[in-house]
Amino acid sequence: MIEAKGKRIGVLLAGGASKRMRQDKLKMLFEGQTLLDRGCQLLSALVANGLLDEFVVSGSIHRANTRIVNDQFLGQGPAGGILSTIKTLGLIEGDLVIALPVDMPLLDIKHLSKLIEASCTNAQSFCYHNAWLPISIVITADLLHAIEKQRNDQKGLSVKQILTLGKGSVLEPESATQLINVNTPEQWHQLSIIQLTE
């Protein structure tokens, strides 16, 4: 069992408008599950395995028996969902947040666990090479200060800046295929081709 000084929270980023997909990505089916349910199942498994204390979903949605975090940083994309989770849950220095997008259906528990374990072992944030998400964030005093500053001047933080403020580094994924995200109908079609060839 890994050890961490603070809370370990998972957040499923589900606040996007799905404009490029031209339909609600949360309700799209992949292997018989909606993308929303699939992401929640991944995080629920990490809770069951003791790697996370709890998980939430960031976005203006409703899902039974699921804690929802409303976006306090509108129009700031994935970073806004991450920062809203930190603020809403009152997380402090030393706590950990792992954030994953709802539109990455091939992502598996192994890749998420590797990020969490690296963050807990090294007390720093991690993402994978050539992919800002998913990201495991160790909350630092610098990050908390930047969040408060942002609330005052409305200047948005990016996921890259959040990684830097968490003393971030990168890991090599075991499979880059697991990190494919789908934002357009063309990418969704390409995903089906990848499945057929594996």
Give me the domains of the chain, ranges plus CATH numbers.
Answer: 8-197 (3.90.550.10)
Cβ atoms of 93 and 87 closer than 8 Å = no
- Give the pLDDT confidence score for residue 127 in this predicted structure: 98
Q: Which of the four pLDDT bands, split at 50, 70 and 90, describes residue 191?
A: confident
Look over the chain and give the mean of its residue pLDDT values, rounded to a whole number.
90
Residue bearing the bigger pLDDT, 193 or 167: 167
* Mean pLDDT on 151-170: 85
* Mean pLDDT on 68-90: 92
* Mean pLDDT on 12-24: 80
For helices 35-48 and 109-122, the axis angle rounded to 10 degrees is 50
Give 94-145 pLDDT, tens digit per residue: 999 999 999 999 999 999 999 999 999 999 999 999 999 999 999 999 999 9
Distance CA 33, CA 118 (A): 29
Give 35-51 pLDDT, tens digit per residue: 999 999 999 999 999 99
- Give the pLDDT confidence score for residue 1 in this predicted structure: 40
Q: Where are the alpha helices (DSSP H) in the chain?
A: 35-48, 77-88, 109-122, 141-153, 159-165, 185-197
Distances (CA, A) of 131 to 53, 127, 136, 170, 198: 25, 7, 12, 9, 22
Residue 150 has pLDDT above 80, yes or no: no
What does the block give as tokens for 67?
A: 């804690």
Cβ atoms of 98 and 109 closer than 8 Å = no
Residue 184 has pLDDT above 60, yes or no: yes
What does the block give as tokens for 134?
A: 């998913």
Helices (H) and strands (E) in the chain, counts: 6, 9
